[in-house]
Amino acid sequence: FAMMKTAVLLLVVGWFVVGEALWPLPTSMQTGPDSVCVSSSQFSITSPCALVNDAINRYQESNLFFPVTGTNGIGYSVPVTVNSCIDKIDYGTDESYTLTLEKSGGKITAPTTYGAIRAIETLSQIFVYNSDGCYDITNLSLTIHDSPRFLWRGFMLDTARHYLSLDTIKMQLDAMSYAKYNVFHWHMIDAQSFPIIIEAQPALAKQGAYKYPEATYGPEDILDIVEFANARGIRVVAEMEVPGHAASWGKGHPEIVAHCPEYESNINNIPLNPSIQKTYEVVFAVLSQVSALVPDDWVHIGGDEVVYGCWFSDPEISAWADENQFDGNDIMKFFEDHVEQFLNILRRKRIVWEEVFLAGALSGTIDTIVQVWENADTMQKVVDAGYEGLQSYGWYLDKQIPSITVPETTHYEWVDTWQDMYSVEPTDNITGDLSLIIGGEGTMWAEQVNDETIMTRIWPRAGAVAERLWSAKDITDIDAALPRLEDFGCRLKRRGIASSPLQPGYCDNTTFFQYNEY
């Protein structure tokens, strides 16, 4: 990844400063003293790329450029030039762009489709409604050169603890695109429910979902989400949580989970049974179907919080382990070796939670990404071992105290935890090859969120993680970020996405966040 220094010149024209409106902040921005007021009905933006034109149509039809119609002002054109009209975003896809705006018109240039889509979002944040009935573009001539600091900027959504509707998932994807996230980590399955319909193993969802078929995702639903995300520059990375957190698998196939009465008071304690062939047949069927539906090269196979004691409390598994002289880490490696073979057959690469790495259960191949959720000490071990790492510690949006630097400190107003998340730097206290830290992910575990509450729990706090992953390392000023993040929250509200406020104030369809100073 590239760590770019930011050179952002903030020049005031009237009451509006372009650099105080953008989220996330771009890599560099040069501004001037002029302005124009544009008619929303005479604005034009065109591209030779189908997906870019789809994005343009989406922004126009949903009033994302212009929340209200402005009949006054001048005509203004912004042609889009793209070097490569690719139609699928992958890990490493170039998302850079240049946006140039003059009094006479503007232009966007980008190496790929997805850089152009990022530029369109930035452009949409620059227009400011004027009471004269037009939209101001200030700080002209304006040139923005922009590219993400990290290649992997993800958000994990848990749809197993509570089933989330397709509309909610799509709303989250829209919001992610506005913050320039590029990975939707879909935590599909967990102990509480198995909502994915696997055609070769229908009992999994029929018995394991909260309600079948209402609270399930069929193949057509998954394809729909993948297409929806791709059009917004977001990869879908599916997570199959194995071998732990597997109670829901056992609803349809009791024989493939461990049976350990002394541990079963906590549903999260029950893992898969690694000692029988049937378990691997079911796991392969799940991985096969999900890989056929989700085209990304990477599959997340979980591996966190496996309760070894449950394995050794199951007589069948315990006897098998004794026969093979396996301890808990040996069992983990035995299981992970099978999963790696399956992924090789399916031509997929794996992501694991840190516990798989810490157990020594990786086969030695470096073609694995380790997601770290506890602390920088673990990330240091991942880097030292030569694996690519994703950071999630400090970015658990479900936690009351997400801070990793001052863990005993919390906030009277919980939404202020965005400040803790904004202060987490992925490379802090890490030495060695920092290029192995390829990015990170915010996470929302769903024990206490559902369709009705989840957006306000995620937004605008997830914006703090998004800017940390997109913008330069030295963009860290919380006081300077607050009004921009509040404006970002207002923008989400205008776009139909519920977002919690950060302080007393007001915003509507035409204004930025307003507050009174005394």
Q: What was the pLDDT predicted at 1? A: 37
Q: What was the pLDDT predicted at 14? A: 37
* Among 102, 264, 305, 425, the one annotated catalytic: 305
**CA 199 centroid distance within chain:** 28
**CATH architecture for segment(s) 7-146:** 2-Layer Sandwich (3.30)
332 contacts 306 by C-beta, under 8 angstroms: yes
- The pair of structure tokens assigned to 133 is 């009935």
Scored b (16 or more CB within 10 A) or e, 424-456 reads bebeeebeeeeebbbbbbbbbbbeebeeeebbb
Query: For the domain with range 152-476, which CATH number is right: 3.40.190.100, 3.20.20.70, 3.40.50.970, 3.20.20.80?
Result: 3.20.20.80
- CA quadruple 207, 213, 217, 218: dihedral sign: positive
Q: What was the pLDDT predicted at 508? A: 79
CATH 3.30.379.10 domain span(s) along the chain: 7-146
Residues 6+ positions from 220 with CB-CB distance below 8 Å: none
Residue 159: how many CA atoms within 13 Å on its side-chain side?
Answer: 26
224 contacts 287 by C-beta, under 8 angstroms: no
Annotated catalytic residue 264: no
CATH 3.20.20.80 domain span(s) along the chain: 152-476
Q: What was the pLDDT predicted at 12? A: 35
DSSP H or E run through 292? helix 277-293
Ordered per-residue pLDDT tens for the chain, 518 residues: 333 333 333 333 333 567 678 999 999 999 999 999 999 999 999 999 999 999 999 999 999 999 988 789 999 999 999 999 999 999 999 999 999 999 999 999 999 999 999 999 999 999 999 889 999 999 999 999 999 999 999 999 999 999 999 999 999 999 999 999 999 999 999 999 999 999 999 999 999 999 999 999 999 999 999 999 999 999 999 999 999 999 999 999 999 999 999 999 999 999 999 999 999 999 999 999 999 999 999 999 999 999 999 999 999 999 999 999 999 999 999 999 999 999 999 999 999 999 999 999 998 677 899 999 999 999 999 999 999 999 999 999 999 888 665 566 778 898 999 999 999 999 999 999 999 999 999 999 999 999 999 999 999 999 999 999 999 999 999 999 999 999 999 999 999 999 999 999 998 777 667 666 55
- The pair of structure tokens assigned to 159 is 């749809």
Q: What was the pLDDT predicted at 350? A: 96
